[in-house]
Amino acid sequence: TAARHPSPDYFVIANGTSSTQTKALAEEVEFKMSQLGIEPNRTEGYQGATWVVLDYGDIIVHVFYKETRDHYNLERLWSDGKDIDVKQFLPDEPQD
């Protein structure tokens, strides 16, 4: 039988305005998470960089090229989910 994976608790959906920016955004997420000692279970999409997926188990990060995000419209597929402002999870910005 196939292994059953639990459903993630959160989806992060973001986009870049070019495939280069999309790839860079995904790489930065992966770098920052790695600095925290957290490695993805799986990554997909770096080759084409129109849709990069970083699977962290409870959190799945989708980084799209803008037109690809518009086409797939994951927000519509997960419309029963609750939008959460990620600012509550980010550290405060240092003051100059």
Mean pLDDT of 59-64: 93
Q: Does the pLDDT at position 86 exceed 80?
A: no
According to CATH, the topology of domain 10-76 is Beta Polymerase; domain 2 (3.30.460)
Q: What are the boundaries of each domain within the chain?
A: 10-76
Q: How far apart are CA 67 and CA 15, in angstroms?
A: 9
Q: Does the pLDDT at position 54 exceed 60?
A: yes
Q: Does the pLDDT at position 45 exceed 50?
A: yes
Q: Is 45 left (phi over 0), alpha (psi -120 to 50) or beta?
A: left
